Each structure stands twice: as C-alpha cells, then as structure tokens.
C-alpha cells in the first residue's frame, strides 16, 4: 500500500516507473535512493532524450493507470 511514483515526460507523453526495471521500490523515498534502477534510468533519459523537456514526478493517487494520465496532459 502507499503512493507509487513515476517520472512523466509531458512533451513526449512518456513515463517510466521503477517496476519497468524489476525494481519494486516505487514509493517516494525509495525512488530517490541512489541505488534505485528507475532513478538511474531517469537520470540517463534526463541527460539525453528528455533533456530540456517538461518532466513531472507524479504519484498514483491521481490515477492507477499512468496511460490515462498521459492522455489528459495539456499540450
């Protein structure tokens, strides 16, 4: 139980979650831990494909399905 977080690229309408990397640590303090694979992937994206784009860090209290959230983002 708890709120699970994802990094969402508003411009590209993409998101990543820790579970995408077989890492079950998806709560707020777990995702900012230095050894979190999702955080490492996010940092890599931020330095390459996601550089200069609008990123939000979104908890699933908004919606259980991030795909639905992506569709509701403003342009």
Q: How far apart are the first and last CA of the chain?
A: 32
Query: What's the domain range around 14?
Result: 5-72
Residue in the structure block whose two tokens are 């230095």: 34
Task: Give the separation between CA 26 and CA 33, rounded to whole angstroms.
Answer: 10
- Mean pLDDT, rounded, for 51-69: 78
Instruction: Report the 10 Å Cβ neighbour count for 42.
Output: 22
- Bridge partner residues of 69 (DSSP): none
Query: Does residue 40 or residue 32 have the better pLDDT?
Result: 40
Least confident of 6-10, 50-54, 59-63: 59-63
Q: Does residue 35 surpass a pLDDT of 90? A: no
Is the pLDDT reported for residue 61 higher than 80? no
Give the total number of structural domains in the chain.
1
Torsion of CA 40, 42, 47, 51, to 10 degrees: -170
């Amino acid at each position: 139980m708890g709120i699970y977080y994802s990094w969402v690229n508003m411009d590209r309408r993409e998101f990543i979650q820790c579970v995408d990397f077989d890492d079950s640590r998806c709560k707020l303090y777990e995702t900012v831990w230095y050894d979190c694979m999702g955080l490492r992937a996010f940092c890599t994206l931020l330095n390459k494909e996601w550089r200069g784009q609008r990123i939000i860090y979104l908890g699933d209290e908004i919606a259980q399905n991030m795909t639905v959230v992506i569709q509701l983002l403003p342009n």
